Amino acid sequence: MSRLIPTIALMALAAASCSKQSKLSYPDAPSDDTVDNYFGHEVADPYRPLENDTAAATLAWVEAENKVTRDYLSNIPFHDALRTRLEQLNNYPKVGMPTKLYDNKYYTYKNDGLQNQYVLYRSDTPDGEGEVFLDPNKLSDDGTVALTGTYMSHDGKYTAYTISRSGSDWTEIFVLDNATGKTLDDHIEWAKFTGAAWQGDGFYYSAYEKPTDGKEFSNANEYHKVYYHKLGTPQSADKVIYENRNEPLHFHNVGITRDESTLIVMGGGAGNGNSLYIKDLTTPNSKWVTVEESQDYDISVIDARDGKLYIFTSADAPLYRLVTADVKAPQRANWKDLVPENKDAVLVNAEFAGDKLILTYDKDASHHAYVYTSDGSPVREITLPTYGTLAFSTDADSPEAFYSFTSFTTPASIYSYNVDSGESSLLRSTELEGFNPDDYVTEQVFYPSADGTKIPMFLTYKKGLERNGKNPVYLYGYGGFNITLNPSFSANRLLWLENGGIYAQTNLRGGGEYGEAWHLAGTKQQKLNVFNDFISAAEYMIDEGWTNPELIAIEGGSNGGLLVGAVTNMRPDLFKVAIPRVGVMDMMRYHLFTIGWNWAHDYGTSADSPEMAEYLLAYSPLHNIKNDGTPYPAIMITTADHDDRVVPAHSFKYAATLQAADTGDQPKLIRIDSKAGHGAGKPIAKVIDEYADIYSFIFYNLGINPVEK
């Protein structure tokens, strides 16, 4: 098979085409004369009609925009070669961690290389080939139905599984008979942000009432309820177990202890954390007990043993801690420290493996893991090879555990681990044909932001790369919602690395890298810190001699799409290419769609106060596009028709405004995918198509031609 030589050739033709592109002709977008008033300040919203994603005029505009984008991308001479190489890089066997479930069998997700969705296998041993238990590729012809979760009954007889169609957040629940493999008649619709918590011959789940026809993917979601479904009955017979009619915008997620004695409901949506309620299922007509009413802290029950709840929390511990509580008196006043807050690292996960605990910490955005006794005494650290990310699969009744370790240049390696002996052994690893991870290096640097705060950043690149100011840089960030960007592997990213690019992943404020204080420093009226942190990352790469503004491409998705849109407006001179993906672009109206209201604890809303509205308006990507001839980078926006997390109206209005503005001759395209959503569960064929478009656009507009041989 042909492949791309991993080198960079600057071709005069490509460079000329990138520097002297004629301005494209874009379709006229549906518009009107809408003007909103925010505390006496009038703000025009001329492309308001694009918020109606099912209107004929919007659909026609989408079709016309996609034609412009496809025509542009198809004329990039190396586009098809890039797609071929991406397919080669993705075509390797992928095997997840085995998980031992209640039927004493091991379940493992596998993908033979280019299957659109991972297949779930069942075997008698952790390293066995096993048999197919559930293949989501058979649920649709095009791979757009994704398996999003499996939940086995405690007696091992049934498995409830959740699916998503076309990338939507809407969830459907089905039930398998584990012995026969047959799907039962039970079918739950309009569930969202839920699993299935089994009790007896049924399960608890969370769902909304059926939405208005035609507005399933845009209207605000209200009144999330917890239901109980009894096997063999229709959904219409399901009983409401928990709801809060006074708080229509709260989420209610449900769990249950392994012995089915205690039902747990976590409420969210109003703060940075969650409320917590429990109910004794052993006593008929028992009342709900409030553990914590506020949503100011993260609070979750990781296990219940011997009448005690084991709770993972940020309450009175911004870097998180483990506590215990008597199930009969579970309120915060009665909590006892099990593993106190570590002042040097953030506790990010805790789980039982037999009678011991495995704790995972973040230190400078990289994972470290430790074994503790059940009374909170440290036993040992689990040794890891380099910067990376961990995930564990444990059995609460056995010392047998498994963990997955991945880095920027190596796919997941799976290890078996015995928490009693400390013995760790490699169960399986993966080698990619034509790619040697030893040819690359990852280093971590710390650079000053505008206010002097030190920001960590990972740099991954080919060994021997010179600091000559001529290296292309792919700068990625997120900076929000207490989410930490840990080292991660992407086969698609290898295309960038093997062609001499530097991948820079920066850990901005707003994330969870250093606990709640780091998170809050990038929220509400501190949000500019996030943008300044990102801009400073680009300036650092230039000042340190790695690159120059003509070779920097920036990318981010969702909240990261907001980031890319905002910094492009702030410093259009600093970047050559910008890829805002499924971004939150209209900060004045984001809270009015689907679950946008749930982001208010990070952003604030335009309805909060004159000061908050003014602050949002000052950085909102949609409202700050320059229109005075200031040259902007080449921009390609991405979104999808089934994105009901960040509705496509954000990207639609941003694209229409950008294309109508005077921002120079660089392309301003929008790529609108069909039968796709915010990103989760996207079939591999669509992922490869998308990255072929993204990398082609980036390379072409940087004046770089990855030469095919």
Q: Which band of pLDDT confidence, cut at 50, 70 and 90, is reported for residue 385?
A: confident
pLDDT band at 505 (very low <50, low <70, confident <90, very high): very high
What does the alpha-carbon distance between residue 640 and residue 678 come to, in Å, rounded to a whole number?
Answer: 7
pLDDT at 679: 58
Query: Can you give the residue range of the structural domain that contains 619?
Result: 12-88+435-702
Same domain, 423 and 564: no
Q: What is the pLDDT of residue 674?
A: 75
The pLDDT tens digits of the residues spanning 220-264 come to 788 999 999 999 999 999 999 999 999 888 889 999 999 999 999
pLDDT at 676: 57
Strands (E) across 407-486 are located at 413-418, 424-428, 440-448, 454-462, 473-476
CA distance 83 to 692: 5
DSSP 82: H
Count of structural domains within the chain: 4
Closest listed residue to residue 473, CA positions, set 506, 489, 496: 496
Strands 170-177 and 366-373, how do they pair?
A: unpaired
The pLDDT assigned to 647 comes to 87
Range in 7-11, 591-595, 596-600 with the lowest mean pLDDT: 7-11
Across the strands, what pairs with 440? 462
Query: Looking at residue 146, what is its pLDDT?
Result: 87
Tokens of 228: 């109980």
CA-to-CA dists, residue 448 to 266, 357, 508, 543, 571, angstroms: 38, 37, 11, 12, 18
Could you tell me the pLDDT band of residue 216, with boundaries at 50, 70 and 90? confident
d(CA 319, CA 61): 48
Closest CA to 473 of 561, 543, 391, 370: 543
Q: From residue 378, give the alpha-carbon distance in Å to each of 253, 381, 666.
A: 32, 9, 57
Q: What percent of the chain has pLDDT over 70?
A: 95
For the chain, count helices (H), then strands (E).
Answer: 11, 39
How sure is the predictor about 642, in pLDDT bands with cuts at 50, 70 and 90? Answer: low
- Domain identity same for 628 and 535: yes
Clarify whether residues 269 and 308 are in a common domain: yes
Under the banding of pLDDT at 50, 70 and 90, the label for residue 217 is low
pLDDT at 356 over 70: yes
Per-residue pLDDT, averaged over 492-498, amounts to 96
Q: Cα–Cα distance between 440 and 492 in angstroms, integer?
A: 15
Query: What confidence tens digit (pLDDT) does each residue in 135-193 have?
Result: 999 998 888 898 999 999 999 999 999 999 887 889 999 999 999 999 999 999 999 88
* Digit-coded pLDDT (tens) for 527-563: 999 999 999 999 999 999 999 999 999 999 999 999 9
Query: Letter for the amino acid at 252?
Result: H
Dump strand ranges (E) for 155-216. 158-165, 170-177, 183-192, 197-199, 202-207
Q: Please name the amino acid found at residue 610.
A: P
The CATH number given to whatever domain includes residue 54 is 3.40.50.1820
User: What pLDDT score was predicted for residue 13?
Assistant: 33
**160 CB contacts (<8 Å, ≥6 apart)?**
150, 151, 152, 153, 173, 174, 175, 176, 195, 196, 198, 203
Based on the fold, state whether residues 650 and 506 are members of the same structural domain: yes
- 708 assigned to some structural domain: no
Quick one: pLDDT band at residue 18, thresholds 50, 70, 90? very low
- 429 belongs to the catalytic site: no
Note whether residue 707 is domain-resident: no
Q: Is 384 helix (H, G, I), strand (E, B) or coil?
A: coil
Residue 519 is predicted with a pLDDT of: 97
Q: Which residues contact 683 (CB under 8 A, 6 or more apart)?
A: 116, 117, 142, 143, 144, 146
Burial 638-661 (b: 16+ CB within 10 A, else e): bbbbbbbbbbbbbbbbbbbbbbbb
Q: What is the pLDDT of residue 219?
A: 74
Q: What dihedral angle (degrees, nearest 10) is formed by the CA atoms of 184, 185, 191, 196?
A: -30
Q: Are 375 and 338 in contact (CB under 8 A)?
A: yes
State the angle between helix axes of 684-702 and 12-19 in degrees (0 to 180), rounded to the nearest 10: 90
Task: Give the CATH number of the domain where residue 141 resides.
Answer: 2.130.10.120
What is the structure's pLDDT at 594?
Answer: 84
CA 649 to chain centre: 20
pLDDT for 22 equals 67
Same domain, 563 and 645: yes
Residues with Cβ within 8 Å of residue 164, at least 6 apart in sequence: 145, 146, 148, 170, 171, 172, 677, 680, 681
**Catalytic pick among 153, 218, 407, 558:** 558
394 burial (CB, 10 Å; 0-12 / 13-18 / 19+) is buried
Mean of pLDDT values over 331-348: 97
Kindly state whether residues 374 and 505 are assigned to the same domain.
no
pLDDT (mean) for 616-623: 98
Q: Are residues 397 and 519 in the same domain?
A: no
Whether 678 sits among the annotated catalytic residues: the reply is yes
pLDDT at position 25 is 95
Q: List the one residue out of 178, 18, 130 whose CA is nearest residue 697.
A: 18
- Does some domain include residue 466? yes
Q: Is residue 243 situated within a structural domain? A: no
Task: Say if residue 34 is in the same domain as residue 169.
Answer: no
Residue 627 within a domain: yes
- Give, in order, the Cα–Cα distances in Å from 299 to each of 56, 94, 194, 261, 266: 46, 34, 17, 19, 8
Residue 576 and residue 596 in one domain: yes
Q: Say yes or no: 54 and 173 in one domain.
A: no
Domain boundary among the residues 341, 375, 392 is at 341
Residue 165 and residue 232 in one domain? yes
Region 659-672: mean pLDDT is 97
| End-to-end CA, the chain | 10
Q: Give the mean model confidence (pLDDT) for residues 676-702.
A: 86
Q: Report if residue 558 sits inside a domain.
A: yes
Query: What's the token pair of residue 15?
Result: 């460079």
Judgement on whether residues 329 and 285 belong to the same structural domain of the protein: yes
Q: Which of 368, 591, 601, 678 is catalytic?
A: 678
Mean pLDDT for all residues in the chain = 92
Task: Inform me whether the pLDDT recorded for 10 exceeds 60.
Answer: no
Residue 423 contacts by C-beta under 8 Å, 6 or more apart in sequence? 417
Q: In whole angstroms, give the CA distance from residue 196 to residue 159.
A: 9
Among the three residues 404, 430, 456, which one is the final residue of a domain in this structure? 430
In a domain, 29, yes or no: yes
- 109 three-class SS: strand
- The verdict on residue 5 lying in a domain is no
H or E stretch including 502?
A: strand 502-506
3-state class (DSSP) for residue 206: strand
pTM of the entire predicted model: 0.92
Domain boundary pick from 306, 321, 341? 341
Q: Could you identify the residue written with the tokens 């509205």?
A: 613
Q: Give the span between the Cα atoms of 595 and 579, in whole angstroms.
A: 24
Residues 443-451, mean pLDDT to the nearest whole number: 98
Res 682: pLDDT: 77
